[in-house]
Amino acid sequence: MPETPEPFVPRTDPAVLEDLRARLRATRWPDAPEDAGWSLGTDLAYLRELVAYWADGFDWPVQEATLARFPRFRVRVGGLGIHYAHVRAVAPAGPVPPLVLTHGWPDSFWRYSKVIPLLTDPGAHGGDPADAFDVVVPDVPGFGYSDRPAAPLDSIAVAGLWAELMDVLGYSRFGAAGGDIGSHVSRYLALDHADRVVAVHRTDAGVPVFTGDPAELTPEERAWLESVAAWGAAEGAYAAMHRTKPQTAAFGLTDSPAGLAAWIVEKLRAWSDCDGDIERSFTKDEILTNITLYWLTGTIGSSMRMYRANAAIAPAQLARRVEVPSGFSIFPGDLVRPPRAWLDRTANVVRATEPARGGHFAAFEEPELYAEELRAFFRPYRAAMG
């Protein structure tokens, strides 16, 4: 892997796609209780429909070419080959700040594929050309087209890699944004590289950790902590598997594309603002583009192992307060929505909003809203970043 960036344009071998289709057509289906729907996990009828389309209707080469419209590269950083999209501002009107966007699970740089044009060329999408960014969207190691690390990396280590990557790209000062694991990584960029990160924007505050006296918390914070615990009991089995025995699940999910689809599509539905109808938030082509990236790169196991690494982060690290100017956009369909008091407890909040629509994958579900949130938040910091 080169020490300087090299263009990266993947071309999937047709034989690999034929093997995928053969596996899909040979799926051995489980039974399901009558009228179970989505109540026990992924709905059998929906997955059959999705898998049939994946085998005989989905056109991966078209989707691969669509993703190739972004300039993409690979470079060696911290001993690992890192894949990233690097899209420069179009016809900027003034200084151009760089912005690094970090995805979460279960996705990749795909999460930001709709919003990149809105951020790099706002004038062509109803925005002010003066709000343009240079955008860098890496795949976290173990996800997408980045290398799979020999041992799983935690969010602190990934933040260090991103600081090094931005050095390679010539950006001494920059903004950071993300959600899910990407929120965690962005937080540590702000904590450990505050001399370079001018401002940080997040769509969540992560899973809360509080080791102090509960009496110090506001009633809203205590109620939120209780709701998070209840959510974990009802919805957190996937995360417990990722933290404890990810390799066991990886065997089945790496071997069976239908199993991989079931594992991912249930989360896309449950975590998006779709009111139970997943295709209100994602088309079948969009769902399958995300899942096919996992299949072709063989990264479902390595992506899950990051949960185990993050679970080992010391409580003292989790308790650190972010002093870099912080913004939060808490979308209504997201998993666990923290109260303002918690945001202020954990970060130097200069802007917090609750957009009208969107969920955990807001940058993909509602790209226009998400782009406007980033433009508005970073506007006062553009000069310091450019």
Whether 360 is catalytic: yes
pLDDT at 33: 95
Residue 92 has pLDDT above 80, yes or no: no
pLDDT band for position 211 (cuts 50, 70, 90)? confident
Q: What is the pLDDT of residues 116-163, one digit of tens each?
A: 999 999 999 999 999 999 999 999 999 999 999 999 999 999 999 999
Q: How far apart are CA 329 and CA 342, in angstroms?
A: 14
User: What's domain 6-385's superfamily in CATH?
Assistant: Alpha/Beta hydrolase fold, catalytic domain (3.40.50.1820)
Choose, from 180, 204, 273, 334, the residue flagged as catalytic.
180
Checking if the pLDDT of 1 tops 60, the result is no
pLDDT digits (tens, 9 = 90+) for 314-327: 999 999 999 999 99
- Of the pLDDT bands very low, low, confident and very high (cuts 50, 70, 90), residue 212 is confident
Q: How much is the average pLDDT of 237-244?
A: 96
Burial 355-367 (b: 16+ CB within 10 A, else e): beebbbbbbbbbb
- pLDDT at residue 246 is higher than 70: yes
Question: Would you state the pLDDT for residue 261?
Answer: 98
Mean pLDDT computed over 105-112: 98
Q: How confident is the model at residue 2 (pLDDT cuts 50, 70, 90)?
A: low
- The domain ranges of the chain are 6-385
Catalytic-residue membership of 307: yes
Give which of 203, 210, 298, 289 is closest to 254, Cα–Cα.
298
Question: Pairing mode, if any, of strands 6-7 and 72-77?
Answer: antiparallel
Active-site residue 370, yes or no?
A: no
Threshold 0.75, pTM exceeds: yes
pLDDT of residue 125: 94
pLDDT of residue 316: 92
Cα angle, residue 364 at apex, residues 208 and 202 outer, rounded to 5°? 30
Per annotation, catalytic residue among 84, 238, 294, 307: 307
pLDDT tens-digit map of 272-285? 999 999 999 999 99
Q: What is the pLDDT of residue 95?
A: 80
Average pLDDT, the chain: 96
